[in-house]
Structure 1
Amino acid sequence: MTSTFDLRTKLSQALRTGHATDLDHALSDERDFIKDLDSLRSAAVLIAITDRPDDPGVILVQRPDHMRNHPGQVAFPGGKIDPDDKDAIHAALREAEEEVQLDPAKVDIIGPTDRYHSGSGYNIQPILGVIPPDLPLIPCPEEVDDWFEAPLEFVLNPKNQNAHIGEWRGERREYYQINWQNRRIWGITAGILVNLSKRLDWLS
Structure 2
Amino acid sequence: MPLDRVRALLAQPLIPNPQGDWDLGRDPPPPADRLTPAAVLMAISNEADPQLLLTRRTAHLKRHAGQVAFPGGRQDEGDAGLIATALREAEEEVAMPADVVEVLGTLDPYRTGTGFIVTPVVGVVPPGLELRADPGEVDTLFHVPLAHVIDPANHVQESAMWQGRQRQYWTIRHDRFHIWGATAGMIVAFSQRLAAVR
With the length of structure 2 as denominator, give the TM-score of the two structures: 0.90
1:38 aligns with 33
Asked if residue 19 in structure 1 is aligned to residue 14 in structure 2, the reply is: yes
- Which deviates more, 9-18 or 188-197? 9-18
For the aligned residue pairs, the C-alpha RMSD in angstroms reads 2.3
1:64 is the counterpart of 2:58: yes
The alpha-carbon distance between structure 1 residues 111 and 45, as it changes in their structure 2 partners (threshold 3 A), is: same
Is 1:134 equivalent to 2:124 in the alignment?
Answer: no
Match of 1:193 in 2: 187
2:154 to 135, 146, 160: 160
Structure 2 unaligned blocks of 5 or more: none
Map 1:62-141 → 2, pairs under 5 A:
62-141=56-135
Report if aligned partners of 2:5, 2:194 keep a CA contact under 8 Å in 1: no
Q: Which residue of 30, 42, 48 corresponds with 1:47?
A: 42
Structure 1 gaps of 5+ residues are: none
Q: Is the 8 A contact 1:50 1:57 kept in 2?
A: yes
Percent sequence identity is: 39
What SS does the aligned partner of 1:190 have?
Answer: helix
Native 8 Å contact 1:75 1:189 kept in 2: yes
Offset at 1:37?
3.3
Greater Cα offset, 135-144 or 28-37: 28-37
Using the TM superposition, give the Cα deviation of residue 17 of structure 1 relative to its aligned residue in structure 2, in angstroms.
Answer: 6.2
Q: CA deviation at 1:171?
A: 1.6
4+ long deviations beyond 2 Å: 14-20, 27-37
Q: CA deviation at 1:33?
A: 5.9
